[in-house]
Chain A
Amino acid sequence: MSIALENITVSYQRHPAVHHASGQFAEGEATAIFGPNGAGKSTLLKAMIGALKPDHGKVHLNGFKRRDIAYLPQQSEIDRSLPVSVIDLVSTGLWHHTGPFGRVGRSGHDRVCAALEQVGLAEFQHRPISALSSGQFQRVLFARILVQDARLILLDEPFNAVDAKTTFDLLELVRHWRDEKRTVIAVLHDYEQVRAYFSQTLLMAREIVAWGKTAEVLTDDNLLRAVNRAAHWQEHAPVCRVDGEAA
């Protein structure tokens, strides 16, 4: 059993960004969430970690606990003007060990250093995060995920504004996680990346268009349907009466 959606609807000012989504993510595999802009991909991830409350429906964690989940936010959600160093930020990945005020300790520190080494930033420990490029910063966020050592890894647009080399290195980490049988769910925009690294794909355009094996989901027919469905915000959309809403 893995994380599952039961008839999830999440909306902004009554307009659904995710509309009646149900289904189950494959455990121990990498699933890409794919779809046009405004398709509700990031919204769905936020609902899964509990940062957004669905209007209807439920996310079933099915055995996953909070500490089993690592989440990579979009870079724009992080305030990089704050005076925080690389090692401080990566150490927040130890939250479930340290809690709000426990000390990091020797073994924690070693894990943080090992993670930084793994993403190629061993020398950058004491740099302030404001001095990093987007690519370097993304490596830092991946290092934090390594430190979290989670069974379920959620990535929100991990390769935006990241150069080819960094993308390649980070995708190799994803492959590594997949080999370790961790469940990876990533919001992506690049068709080739999805096909090369993600065995499962959830294609969505507010509603789920298709969900299953990548080769079967990413067909021209499905992609066209997704683009058409993403369409426009309807200012005067009628009230939705689909089953389950009334309950």
Chain B
Amino acid sequence: MLLGHVLNELLIAPFTDFAFMRRALAGCLALALGSGPIGLFLVMRRMSLMGDAMSHAVLPGAAVGFLLAGLSLPAMSLGGFVAGVLVALLAGLATRFTSLKEDASFAAFYLLSLALGVLLVSKSGSNVDLMHILFGSVLAVDQPALILVASVATVTLLSLSVIYRPLLLESLDPVFLRAVGSRGGFWHMLFLMLVVLNLVAGFQALGTLMAVGLMMLPAISARLWASSVGGMLATSICVAFGSGVGGLLLSYHFELPSGPAIILLAGLVYLVSLLFGSVGGAVPRYVRTRHLEG
């Protein structure tokens, strides 16, 4: 009985007692459902650092939104989305029409965008605003923010289920995709828009910087546990949601900022996966198991 009581106090009560914790919990679930799969596709497409670049790219848009409408979620989200898509579009065009590779184009345009963002924020906002944009707070997620995050998760899952096959085929065998007459670039662009959408969704809850953490860390961990895409997707979502719940509880009990707590927990899962992951983790690779007959 006592144990039950303690567990209840530790794990359940924070959510039943406080509405803001419940909203944060729902927010984490929605973010995990959207960002987990997106991160996995970024990893599989060897674009793990692209999420980071894009998270910086949305800054000036959010800043413009803030300047025009104050601390308004729709304005900042819309601004962030437009800026992110613009950077993705410009980088895509630069890759297509010059001899530069995609990573170089993205690096160049996101840096431009970031500098513009910092300039805008420092010219007319205060450092506090900048901190909010960069780091957010999942505990401050309100009803409209929750609806935004949930909508993005819905759009993401539906879109991914539609573009899944060409998207995977484009990384697997791009020339074949061209040969059957499908435009790889189109699916790629759609995917980048989903990346931006998810970053914008993560924005209010975790801030632009931490949102990438929830996207990439669970996805990279998942690659170390599952060998099929389906298994990886499930693992990635579970790790993301688990880190979300755990991070919220840690932040509640120890009065830690929620964003970093969530990401650090996801990071911990990553470190454990690195060592013990059943598919390619360090330890299983070096532990001798008897080989099969054939």
Contact = CB atoms under 8 A, between A and B. Distances in A.
A73 B172 CA distance: 12
Contacts of A13: 99
Interface in A17-68: 46, 49-51, 66-67
Interface of A is mostly: mixed
B181 interface: yes
* Dominant secondary structure at the B interface: helix
Contact of A71 (B171, B175, B229): B175
A66 B180 contact: yes
Contact of A83 (B173, B180, B228): B228
B180 A84 contact: no
Contacts, number: 68
Given A95-B180, A100-B162, A101-B164, A85 B175 contact: no
Contacts of B178: 49-51
A101 B175 contact: no
Contacts of B7: none
A128 interface: yes
Given A82-B168, A83-B232, A92 B175 contact: no
B166 A100 contact: yes
B48 to A, nearest CB: 13
Given A71-B175, A82-B168, A83-B227, A96 B162 contact: no
Contacts of A83: 44, 223, 226-229, 232
A183 to B, nearest CB: 15
B168 A71 contact: no
B179 interface: yes
Interface of A: 13, 46, 49-51, 66-67, 69-71, 73, 77-79, 82-85, 89, 92, 95-96, 98, 100-101, 128
Given A79-B172, A84-B168, 11 more contacts: A13-B99, A49-B175, A50-B178, A67-B180, A79-B173, A82-B168, A83-B44, A84-B229, A89-B173, A95-B180, A100-B163
